[in-house]
């Protein structure tokens, strides 16, 4: 059986990130199958001529059309075109907008995400990103008191990438690397434990990660940094500190950054942020 090529056209009046994430979530289910995907993103589509041009291209290859338009006229045009030309059309935005409107009895603004990039939300996100960089790796413990989230963890428990990922959700995140021989800043004890997340990992996983890190630097992988006994001591120190603080503990060994962030948002009840 020859390999299939399935075209997915993402049509959006913004950058198309919503459609891209949705298509990625579906495609990953076919990683081991004989299916080849070709994703074509048509972003910032804001008039009928642009939309019809994108839809006609999709028609030529019998594409799956994934549209995240908010303009009522453009949505109707896309739906009508796809029905007339027997194209599969997925519109994840309209049903949700309609239901929210029905329950709230408030009409949606129908403003494309890209129309006002320099709004309050944008500046809050940029401020959160700057905060994460400024207070990365415990550079200034004073930032702990202003943080929405404080991440603790030994080396290579994903503190920095997690900080930046969460900052992209407008959350101010600081992090502190834990070293048994290092001084614990006094500010740590002034932070609400409900804002603190203790990150941990499996000793063998950490050993592998640290060895690979040393190799990447062209150094001997067998050092005190990657020694399994030293790693166990570090993790024991971290767990004792977490218990003393009373914070939540997350083992990141088998988790992606996205999965860890999702757990943090849920546990700290910050999904709405």
Say how many CA atoms lie within 13 Å of 159 toward its Cβ: 25
Using an 8 Å Cβ cutoff, are 128 and 173 in contact?
Answer: yes
- What is the distance of C-alpha 197 from the center of its chain? 17
Instruction: Count the neighbouring beta carbons within 10 Å of the beta carbon of residue 165.
Output: 19
Residues 6+ apart with CB under 8 A from 55: 9, 11, 65, 78, 81, 82, 85, 87
Walk along the chain (273 residues) and give the pLDDT tens digit of each residue.
456 799 999 999 988 889 999 999 999 999 888 889 999 999 999 999 999 999 999 999 999 999 999 999 999 999 999 999 999 999 999 999 999 999 999 999 887 765 555 677 888 999 999 999 999 999 999 999 999 999 999 999 999 999 999 999 999 999 999 999 999 999 999 999 999 999 999 999 999 999 999 999 899 999 999 999 999 999 999 999 999 999 999 999 999 999 999 999 999 988 644
Render pLDDT for 178-213 as a digit per residue (tens, 0 to 9): 999 999 999 999 999 999 999 999 999 999 999 999
Helices 228-245/203-216 angle, 10° precision: 120
Q: Write 185-193 long-range contacts (CB < 8 A, 24+).
A: 185/138, 185/141, 185/144, 186/141, 187/141, 187/142, 187/144, 187/145, 188/141, 188/144, 188/150, 188/245, 190/144, 190/145, 191/144, 191/145, 191/147, 191/150, 193/245, 193/246, 193/247
pTM over 0.85: no
Domains of the chain: 4-104 (3.40.50.2300), 120-267 (3.40.50)
């Amino acid at each position: 059986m020859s390999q299939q090529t399935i075209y997915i056209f993402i049509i959006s009046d913004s950058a198309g990130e919503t459609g891209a994430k949705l298509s990625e979530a579906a495609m990953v289910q076919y990683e081991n199958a004989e299916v080849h995907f070709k994703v074509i993103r048509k972003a910032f589509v804001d008039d009928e001529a642009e939309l019809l041009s994108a839809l006609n291209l999709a028609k030529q290859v019998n594409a799956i059309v994934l549209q995240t338009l908010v303009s009522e006229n453009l949505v109707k045009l896309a739906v009508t075109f796809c029905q007339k030309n027997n194209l599969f059309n997925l519109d994840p935005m309209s049903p949700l907008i309609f239901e929210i409107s029905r329950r709230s009895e408030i009409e949606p603004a129908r403003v494309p995400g890209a129309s006002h990039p320099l709004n309050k939300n944008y500046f809050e996100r940029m401020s959160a990103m700057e905060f994460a960089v400024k207070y990365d790796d415990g550079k200034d413990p004073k930032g702990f008191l202003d943080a929405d989230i404080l991440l603790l963890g030994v080396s290579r428990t994903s503190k920095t990438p997690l900080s930046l990922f969460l900052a992209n959700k407008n959350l101010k995140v600081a992090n502190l690397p834990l070293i048994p021989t290092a001084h614990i800043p006094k500010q740590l004890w002034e932070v609400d434990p409900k804002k603190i997340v203790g990150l941990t990992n499996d000793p063998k996983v950490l050993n592998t990660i640290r060895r690979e890190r040393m190799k990447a630097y062209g150094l001997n992988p067998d050092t005190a940094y990657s020694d399994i006994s030293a790693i166990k001591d570090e993790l024991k120190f971290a767990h004792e500190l977490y218990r003393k603080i009373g914070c939540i503990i997350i083992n990141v060994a088998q988790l992606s950054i996205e999965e860890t962030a999702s757990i943090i948002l849920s546990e700290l009840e910050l999904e709405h942020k």
